């Protein structure tokens, strides 16, 4: 739906979802894709066959799916659009970081590459979006970040918060209220055992402490200091 020669909205959503799944867990299973896109597994099978025929991915029936280079580039183009849109909406139009996701999700299928490039220029060619996710370049290069979840850090670790998921507005509002935004420096003050909460100390004056549930801590990506 974007510029000429474009893929359908559906196709773009599939490619993006498959890319993200591969990024996280290795192979993308039919079920995972269905869950991520809120579709029935049967629907996914159908689309996957079409995408295999169009050369966007390889499909071994009953096994899984892997993007081809073509598919990878298409997925990255969508992600570039999404992340630049989020950045633009927040920076230039006063959106709150907690609810830009939905708007970007619709626009990413409608904007042309020209518009995206103009936005990128207006923003000074940013490398990260406001949630800390790296923005792919026009050519499909993307920074391979080696971030770890906060949940994996041992007590005493010094880390910088680098990236948070952009999908859930409520969670984002909560994180912002805690001051947990990308680039904040943290020290892991304590870890409760058995999947309990993590306590972090914000480097401020005076330092403040935050207690973070295990699930939330698993979704915060940090870099060691």
Partner DNA sequence: TGGGTAATTTAGCCGCCACTAAATCTCCGT
Partner DNA sequence: ACGGAGATTTAGTGGCGGCTAAATTACCCA
Neighbours of 42 (CB within 10 A): 9
What is the secondary structure of 59-115 as a DSSP string? EETTTEEEE-HHHHHHHHHHHHHHHHHHHHHHHHH---TTTHHHHHHHHTTT--HHH
Q: Least Å distance between CB 115 and DNA?
A: 22
Burial class from Cβ neighbours inside 10 Å (0-12, 13-18, 19+) for residue 200 reads: buried
Give the footprint of DNA on residues 61-120 (CB under 7 A): 61-64
Name the binder of 119 from DNA, its own copies, none, CB < 5-8 A by kind: its own copies
Q: Least Å distance between CB 56 and DNA?
A: 12
User: What is the Cα–Cα distance from 75 to 202, expressed in whole angstroms?
Assistant: 36
Give the footprint of its own copies on residues 84-113 (CB under 8 A): 89, 92-95, 103, 106-107, 109-112
55 binds DNA (CB under 7 A): no
Return the residue of 6, 20, 29, 160 that touches DNA, per CB under 7 A: 29
Q: Least Å distance between CB 67 and DNA?
A: 15
User: What is the Cα–Cα distance from 188 to 157, expressed in whole angstroms?
Assistant: 5
Q: What's the residue count for the chain?
A: 225
Which residues of this chain interact with DNA, rule CB under 7 A? 8-11, 13, 29-32, 38-50, 59, 61-64
Which residues of this chain interact with its own copies, rule CB under 8 A? 1-2, 89, 92-95, 103, 106-107, 109-112, 114-115, 118-119, 122
């Amino acid at each position: 739906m974007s510029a000429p020669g474009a893929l359908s909205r559906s196709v773009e959503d599939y490619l993006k979802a498959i890319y993200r799944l591969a990024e996280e867990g290795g192979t993308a299973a039919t079920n995972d894709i269905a869950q991520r896109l809120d579709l029935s597994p049967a629907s996914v099978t159908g689309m996957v066959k079409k995408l295999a025929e169009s050369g966007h991915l390889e499909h071994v029936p009953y096994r899984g799916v892997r993007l081809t280079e073509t598919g990878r580039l298409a997925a990255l183009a969508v992600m570039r659009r999404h992340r630049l849109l989020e950045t633009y909406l927040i920076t230039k139009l006063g959106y709150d970081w907690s609810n830009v996701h939905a708007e970007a999700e619709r626009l990413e299928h409608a904007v042309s590459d020209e518009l995206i490039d103009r936005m990128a220029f207006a923003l000074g060619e940013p490398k990260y979006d406001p949630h800390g996710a790296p923005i792919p370049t026009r050519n499909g290069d993307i920074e391979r970040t080696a971030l770890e979840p906060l949940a994996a850090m041992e007590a005493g670790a010094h880390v910088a918060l680098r990236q948070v998921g952009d999908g859930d507005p409520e969670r984002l509002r909560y994180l912002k209220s805690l001051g947990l935004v990308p680039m904040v420096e943290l020290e892991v003050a304590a870890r409760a055992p058995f999947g309990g909460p993590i306590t972090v100390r914000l480097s401020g004056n005076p330092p403040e402490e935050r207690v973070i549930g295990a699930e939330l801590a698993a979704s915060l990506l940090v870099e060691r200091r």
